[in-house]
Structure 1
């Protein structure tokens, strides 16, 4: 009952602590003190009007009201910042023009109509600075976001984190020899069972290449489209992106294959160790009786001692030989009885 009561007290205190009125005596509201509750000029906070401005709507209709955005006022120190790009503008940057991106078709393989947008993204990424491709300008996304909101992310820089399971080298595209060789990466992000396909212009030094790898990495890549590819289960669809490089760190330990000699030595050492353990146990217990044997022997000894008085040992062998000798003395031998009549 004390534990249940203590738990109830804690819950009550939590509820009271969540109420702002509980702490009003510690930090009183200055605004409420300055204005009396019955002041007719006092305006409730939920009724404060947001400044609005009549501007032309998207459809050209005059008189539409919108909320005025809070922008930083122009000062002599900010009037010359034409070359600087804010973080929000960098996150919303589109790496190809609108007309080229509009011709990209989702849920399809590479088409000739995709070439212009792909080429523009490739050229812009190749000429971009490290700051342009930084993680702060690329929001972290998952498979579901790209798959469900393809048009929203098309042509924008995003961050992909996951495990690269496959890395293969692709030959140059005959339609664009400038691109050279690209690396096709199959990335599984988080708990997704479907891959994200990323084409990378470069690979870090020492990055493993193959169909079965397991390398955690992150990439800043531009989303292109939902790409259709052939798999064992049929035709599949995956988000397709283009990256300039892979953020990856080589592990400290280098994996290598175990030779047959090392396997044989390991098995031999295991057998020798097992034989040594068995021999040691046998040597220490060769003259020792088990607990079961000791218990049986003790039980038999006790039973013998209890029934010893009732056991008939009979006539010993020595007494039997003495009796036989006396019997032979009482009867004459065959030589003494020769020639005498018998009764």
Structure 2
């Protein structure tokens, strides 16, 4: 997906958002019609039935399947990490990218158990963005280019995308983005992230407050993103938009990936209809963000790791929903009497 040679790169993004398609009603109705004939009481599979309908509506397939799911992890570094907002140093970023490649991270095991592909996108891990307390994270051209880079994660026929991220300090950045988009106080959005102590939590609150003060009255979602966001948040926001355009359903992971989704939501409240929120993070700000957007999570496992781990777990359920819908026999096929017989 390429952009025009525009002097205003964000206009290309805005135009893409304006052109996002709605659900495929024919595919949706086909799934509902088949579901009514399956060998079970109506509604007895609950959320699995809803997920099959969601897959059909946003993939455009009347027999929805998930055969090429992918977890896309976007890794980067943040200058704000130097403010003591995390329990871990920024050197962990490059080390974790190596750990992903070696198959040693939690996400590797979950992907293996659910037969899900995994790609890690290194967004200049060795070069942190400026601290959002002092400078803009990106200029407009770099932010738009990073969003475009995220869009490329769909290459290769992916039919379900799971968002993941890695970046020490990025729960601070995500809290700032959500605070900038949805208002409130910094304390409403921060949490302990990687496990900071009380002093670290106070530094985190102060960092978000400084970022918001520097943001001023700016309300444009893309400007909020570039000024106080991060590369991984920009890339994931771009990927969400591209997935809608290419009819690929999306599973949003936790707190940081939700900040990326919130950027799209702030541009168009219907812009996340092709997304499911995989789980509710242990970060208190995540629950607040979902409530603000009127969204519900599929799982609540008390997780706060990131890496796309919650999305990968939810992908197994989405795959099961598709297999159940397509594989079950109808009353006629099975020779089973329906309630109307």
Whether TM exceeds 0.5 here: the answer is: no
Higher relative contact order structure (alpha carbons within 8 Å, sequence separation ≥ 6): 2
- TM-score of the two chains, using structure 1 as the length reference: 0.21
Radius of gyration: which is bigger? Answer: 1
- Kindly indicate which of the two structures has a greater share of residues assigned to helix: 2
Q: When the two structures are superposed, what TM-score results if normalisation uses the length of structure 2?
A: 0.21
Q: Please identify which structure carries the higher strand content.
A: 1
